[in-house]
Amino acid sequence: MLKELKLYPKYVSMSLRSGLSYKADSFIMMISFAVTEVISLATVYLIVGSVPQIGIWSFNALAFLFGFILVPKAIDHIFTDELWILAYWAIRRGELDIYLTRPLNPLYQFVAKTFKWDGIGEFVVGIVIMCIFAPISGIAWSFSSVTVLILCGFFGIFGFTGIKLIFASLAFWLKTSGIILNTVYNLSGYAKYPLKYMGKAFMSIMFYVVPFGLMLYYPIECLITGANAWWSVLWSSIAAVALMTIGLTVWTIGIRRYDSSGN
């Protein structure tokens, strides 16, 4: 573990240097992620703006929720984007061979080799939106509520990573699982809407099956209603541990049956 930690800055530096040799490309990617999210927020505005209020949710509160979701999503994007490659191509093209011959954890090597600094675009948009809407979101700010937000954001990162790891690792069996991962991952986009009013069945799925709702939506709902938000920290941490455990288990079982397709 210590060896991996020591090596990580070297991996980041390698990835940054290779990224910086295509500065314009990285800049285009960063802008494109930022523009995509701004358009997403405009969509929420147009939809939600058609009614004065959706129960406890005003547009300002939903915009804050939108910004909050972007932050863990962006951090996960920056550190573990390579999992998309696992889901789409790595198994089919036999790209894992090289990682199995080195004396380092293969998952660590695979994930660490890419540091996607273009995710900073999403991160900045998320932070800016949060800063703009925090004072008008209807949340009673205190040291406790800020701590809750930081902790839930932190666990949220592992929520995204866990889901990606679980469904990307299915590629060990299916050869390619990108479309399935894409469909499940996109559910996170619906945590920015008022789940409370979108039907019990869907809310249950978003809380107990693919817990983006539990980890991203529920903390903000607690902060808005004034409910004890520390429960959301507890549930988020449990969900993060559960998702990462399942993800690592699926990866471990999957990599044992990995069979190189050659290249």
The site for another protein (CB under 8 A) is made up of 22, 24-26, 28-33, 35-36, 39-40, 42-43, 46-48, 50-55, 118, 179-180, 182-183, 186-187, 190, 193-194, 197-199, 202
Q: How far is the CB of 187 from another protein (least distance, A)?
A: 8
Nearer to another protein, 35 or 241 (CB): 35
- In angstroms, how far apart are the furthest CA atoms of the chain? 60
* 96 burial via Cβ count (<10 Å: 0-12, 13-18, 19+): buried
User: Crossing angle of helices 23-48/59-80, nearest 10°?
Assistant: 150
Render the burial of 130-151: b for 16+ CB within 10 Å, e for the rest.
beebbeebbbeeeeebeebbeb
**Helix boundaries (H) for the chain:** 2-20, 23-48, 59-80, 82-85, 97-100, 106-112, 120-133, 143-169, 171-174, 178-186, 200-204, 212, 218-225, 230-256
Q: Which is nearer to another protein, 215 or 233 (CB)?
A: 215
Tell the smallest beta-carbon distance from residue 16 to another protein (Å): 16
Q: Find the shortest distance in angstroms from Cβ 49 to another protein.
A: 8
Is the Cβ of residue 114 or residue 233 nearer to another protein in the bound state?
114
Least separation in angstroms between CB 119 and another protein = 11
**CA proximity to 80, closest of 24, 22, 15, 172:** 15
- Nearest distance in Å: CB 77, another protein: 12
